[in-house]
């Protein structure tokens, strides 16, 4: 599913104009990005949580040459689904 599909589905369920739906989705994603950039954890009840964690540098091997390379530390965005979302997903697998 891409953003256009998401806009279409919200439009079908709400009847709001597509331009307004697209703008609301953009604003929602911007708010989430700004919050995690500030180091805040964003929790959406019944859906999950977003936050940023620090990934430490580590040594790896180049697959072709076998040479050892050290990667730099970086920040990674993490999403953890809520308990209710995990239950819903696992029920659909049975």
Confidence of residue 93 (pLDDT cuts 50, 70, 90): low
Average pLDDT over residues 67-80: 92
Q: Which of 50, 8, 13, 52 is nearest to 29 (CA)?
A: 50
User: Can you say whether residue 49 is alpha, beta or left, with left for phi > 0 and alpha for psi between -120 and 50 degrees?
Assistant: beta
Q: Which helix H or strand E contains 23, and what residues bound it?
A: helix 18-37
Average pLDDT over residues 59-82: 91
Give the DSSP letter of residue 24: H
1-5, 27-31, 82-86, 88-92: least confidently modelled range: 88-92
Confidence of residue 92 (pLDDT cuts 50, 70, 90): low
């Amino acid at each position: 599913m891409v953003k256009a599909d998401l806009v279409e589905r919200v439009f079908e369920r709400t009847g709001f104009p597509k331009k307004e739906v697209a703008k609301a989705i953009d604003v929602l994603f911007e708010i989430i990005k700004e919050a995690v950039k500030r180091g805040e954890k964003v929790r959406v009840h019944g859906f999950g949580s977003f936050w940023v964690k620090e990934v430490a540098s580590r040594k790896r091997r180049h697959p072709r040459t076998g040479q050892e390379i050290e990667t730099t530390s970086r920040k990674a965005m993490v999403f953890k689904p809520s308990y209710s979302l995990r239950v819903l997903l696992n029920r659909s697998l049975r």
